[in-house]
Amino acid sequence: MTTDKSKEWLIILQNKGYRITKPMKIIVDILAKSDRLLNPTEVYLQAKNIYSKVGLVTVYRTMEKMEQADLIERVHMPDGCQSFFQSSNGHQHLMICTSCGKAHYFEGENLNQFFQSIGNKFGYSVNNHWLQLFGRCEECQKINKEQSMNSEDSL
Ligand SMILES: [Zn+2]
Ligand SMILES: [Zn+2]
């Protein structure tokens, strides 16, 4: 099933002059629907499940086009890996689960004031910032608890 967002994204790509192929549609749909960060290999595996003729090169090329069109953005993870997530509407901050990649955007109204106060300390006028929070989502915290309980049972 294609979502409204993936339809929107396909139109944007089409308007940029790209020919929309079946593999491309599948790749765009996966990224438009995902509430988690995905790297090209993960997109490739999901796409291959839907349509076996999808190739890894097509995944890379499509994601490159999507990044250039500002539909998805590259996220640098603490372990040095790179993943992708749908772009924010305007200036927003990202919260990421380091276990499953589930991500949310948030605004944070008081941040500018906070960052400016740090700037003031060093005599800087702060005009931009880039913020990502890393942690574990609710589900992953539960799984961890269950796992540690199970391992206690087996001892
Ligand atoms: Zn901000
Ligand atoms: Zn998680």
Residue 154 has pLDDT above 60, yes or no: no
Confidence of residue 144 (pLDDT cuts 50, 70, 90): confident
Q: How far is the CA of 92 from the centre of ligand 2 (A)?
A: 20
The pTM of the full predicted model, rounded to 2 decimals, is 0.84
CB 87 within 8 A of CB 71: yes
Closest C-alpha among 102, 105, 99 to residue 87? 105
Residues 70 and 16 occupy one common structural domain? yes
Residues 6+ apart with CB under 8 A from 72: 31, 63, 66, 84, 85, 86, 87
* 90 Cα–ligand 2 center, Å: 25
Tell whether 68 and 12 lie within a shared domain: yes
Q: Are residues 59 and 106 both part of a single domain?
A: no
- Same domain as 69, residue 97: no
Measured CA to CA, the distance from residue 3 to residue 7 in angstroms comes to 6
CATH label of the domain that carries residue 103: 3.30.1490.190
56, 78: one domain? yes
Full domain range(s) for residue 125 = 89-153
Q: Output the CA 106–ligand 1 centroid distance in Å.
A: 9
Total of domains in the chain: 2
Specify whether 38 is located in the same domain as 106: no
Phi and psi of 7, rounded to 5°? -60, -45
89-95 mean pLDDT: 90
Ligand closest to 116 (CA) is: 1
Assign 21 a pLDDT band (cuts: 50, 70, 90).
very high
Which residues, in sequence order, are CB contacts of 98 under 8 Å at separation 6+?
77, 78, 79, 134, 135, 136
CATH code for position 49: 1.10.10.10
Assess contact for 77 and 98: CB atoms under 8 A. Answer: yes
Do the Cβ atoms of 97 and 140 come closer than 8 Å? yes
Terminal-to-terminal C-alpha distance of the chain: 46
DSSP string for residues in 86-131? EPPSSS-EEEEETTT-BEEEE--TTHHHHHHHHHHHHT--------
Q: Which ligand is nearest to the CA of 95?
A: 2
Q: Are residues 74 and 106 in the same domain?
A: no
Same domain flag for 66 and 18? yes
**Among residues 51, 82, 113, which one ends one of the domains?**
82
60 lies in the same domain as 42: yes
Ligand 1 geometric centre to CA of 102 (Å): 20
Assess whether 49 and 114 both reside in one domain: no
How far does residue 46's CA lie from ligand 1's centre (Å)?
32
**39-90 per-position pLDDT tens digit:** 999 999 999 999 999 999 999 999 999 999 999 999 988 888 889 999 998 8
- Rounded to the nearest integer, the mean pLDDT of the chain is 92
Domain boundary among 82, 106, 137: 82
DSSP class of residue 36? B
